[in-house]
Amino acid sequence: MTRPHLRFFAAAVLLGLGCSVFAVTLVRATVYAPAEPEAPAPKGQGLSRTQFSEQPARLRIPSLGVDAHVQDVGIAKSGRMAVPSNYTDVGWYRYGPAPGSVGSAVLDGHIDNGFGLGGVFRRLGELRPGDEILLETAGGEELRFVVEEASVYEVADVPVDRIFNRNDAARLNLITCEGVWDGESRSYSERLVVYAVLR
């Protein structure tokens, strides 16, 4: 191969590579959120525990202007609750109870996208006790929850048992990131949790 041909070939490869990296980075930053692969379902657990009609389909928070599609998510391989595959949907923890049943149904959502622009739960911290959260099930039923409390925790201090295992009422807990970005762990330093109860 002569030198001009080599340069032509290198330029063509660079063009293809540059376009591919640009497109993939842009899509990951704005459309598809980077997500760890999910671990297999824990023994005895699974989506089949919840009837399809009881599964949440849409989340509305009128005071924040949120109207989001609900995906069902499980546990990531790292052991963390998995996250929705984009920045505009929310994720319902499918191994927990269905919203409206006694127990703690948990939804998570992104606070921002790859450009630092607002995700679905960008304004979650503005919720105050008494605010309304509406959840529509796949069967068309609308459940009305009322915010009881909003708390911010350091990542190491997040009370996961309180968030996932409180069984004294039909609860809905929303969780998102908060705090400052830690470049080493590539994560935010805190989590914001909004606790709501069925009315």
What's the closest the beta carbon of residue 64 comes to another protein, in angstroms?
16
- 183 part of the interface to another protein, by CB under 8 A: yes
- Neighbouring residues of 94: CB distance < 8 A, sequence distance ≥ 6: 46, 47, 50, 55, 72, 73, 74
- 191 part of the interface to another protein, by CB under 8 A: yes
3-state secondary structure of 83: coil
Q: Check: CB of residue 171 under 8 Å from CB of residue 196.
A: yes
Q: In the complex with another protein, which residue's Cβ is closer, 18 or 139?
A: 18
- 62 part of the interface to another protein, by CB under 8 A: no
Q: Sign of the C-alpha dihedral, residues 38, 40, 44, 47?
A: positive
Q: In the complex with another protein, which residue's Cβ is closer, 104 or 137?
A: 104
Name which position in 7, 77, 144, 199 contacts another protein (CB under 8 A). 7
- 21 part of the interface to another protein, by CB under 8 A: yes
Judged by CB under 8 A, how many residues of this single chain contact another protein?
60
Residue among 52, 132, 142, 41 at smallest CA distance from 82: 41
Q: Check: CB of residue 191 under 8 Å from CB of residue 158.
A: yes
Contact range with another protein by CB under 8 A, out of 57-65, 129-137, 144-152, 178-186: 178-186
Letters for 88-127 (x = contact with another protein by CB under 8 A, - = none) are ---x-x-x------------xxxxxxxxxx-x-x------
How far is it, in rounded angstroms, from Cα 171 to Cα 48? 20
3-state secondary structure of 32: strand
Amino acid at 167: N
Interface residues with another protein (CB under 8 A) are 4, 7-8, 11-12, 14-15, 17-19, 21-22, 25-26, 29, 33-34, 42-45, 75-76, 78-83, 91, 93, 95, 108-117, 119, 121, 155, 158, 160-161, 164-165, 175-177, 181-183, 186-188, 191
